[in-house]
Amino acid sequence: MKFFIDTANLKEIKEAYELGVLDGVTTNPSLMAKEGITGKDNIMSHYKAICDIVDGDVSAEVVSVDFEGMIREGEELVEIDDKIVVKIPMIKEGVKALKYFSQKGIRTNCTLIFSAGQALLAAKAGATYVSPFIGRLDDISTDGIGLIEQIITIYRNYGFETQVLAASVRHPMHIIQCAEVGADVMTGPLSAMEQLLKHPLTDIGLEKFLADYAKGNS
């Protein structure tokens, strides 16, 4: 399973990259705003800065909601770097844009997926990735991981090549559950990735190994 980090924070992206397990980055307009990145030029150069750090796909989201606007924005975004994947919302105009980009060989990530039907449409339109938001579904007492499983089954039944990118990951158990059901990618915060490495018995064991070494070498 690929690990993407879901942030526009350059420090966190560097940290995850240096850990050696990072396969890409996802961003969205809210994450950009959280970092204080506003205005088209600043946003475009921030995408470039992200691309310069990582070796992998970087999702950059369009903010137009009409077909022409999405196409115009997407074509500008892919000019920034070969790593850019155009992130398109799951709306009617977005489905048309997915088809357009897929015919042009431009990679896409269909975002704001909350149902299997939406994922099926995105795959039929040729999306490279679909992003079902599991945390936001869990927030409303709906089974986010169950949706990932359902989409994987549908894609396998018909051999769709669209990759399932589990988004809105909130904690390490989400990551493990995504891996169990076979998500192609998960995107989440650095904290969730770092929590994967923690275990109290690891800390206790290491403390003892180091203490025993110190005894024998003092």
Where do contacts with ligand E4P occur on this chain (CB under 6 A)? Answer: 6, 26, 28, 111, 131, 133, 135-136, 167-168, 187
- Nearer to ligand E4P among residue 139 and residue 207 (C-beta): 139
Q: How far is CA 87 from CA 70, 95, 138, in A?
A: 10, 12, 23
Contacts of 113-116 spanning 24+ positions with Cβ under 8 A: 113/151, 113/167, 114/147, 115/147, 116/147, 116/150, 116/151, 116/154
- Nearer to ligand E4P among residue 192 and residue 211 (C-beta): 192
Contacts of 12-15 spanning 24+ positions with Cβ under 8 A: 12/189, 12/190, 13/50, 13/53, 13/54, 14/53, 15/190
Q: How many residues does the chain have?
A: 218
Q: How far is the CB of 203 from ligand E4P (least distance, A)?
A: 29
- Nearer to ligand E4P among residue 103 and residue 142 (C-beta): 142
User: What is the spatial distance between Cα 117 and Cα 3, in angstroms, rounded to a whole number?
Assistant: 25
- Nearer to ligand E4P among residue 25 and residue 123 (C-beta): 25
Q: How far is the CB of 209 from ligand E4P (least distance, A)?
A: 38
CB atoms < 10 A from the CB of 18, how many? 10
Q: How far is CA 131 from CA 38, 47, 151, 188, in A?
A: 24, 19, 11, 12
Q: How far is the CB of 206 from ligand E4P (least distance, A)?
A: 33
Would you call 87 a catalytic residue per the annotation?
yes
Pull the structure tokens for residue 43.
């946003």
Q: How far is the CB of 205 from ligand E4P (least distance, A)?
A: 34
- Nearer to ligand E4P among residue 57 and residue 206 (C-beta): 57
Which of 83, 87, 92, 124 is flagged as catalytic?
Answer: 87
User: What is the spatial distance between Cα 33 and Cα 144, in angstroms, rounded to a whole number?
Assistant: 26
Q: How far is the CB of 137 from ligand E4P (least distance, A)?
A: 9
The residues assigned a catalytic role are 87
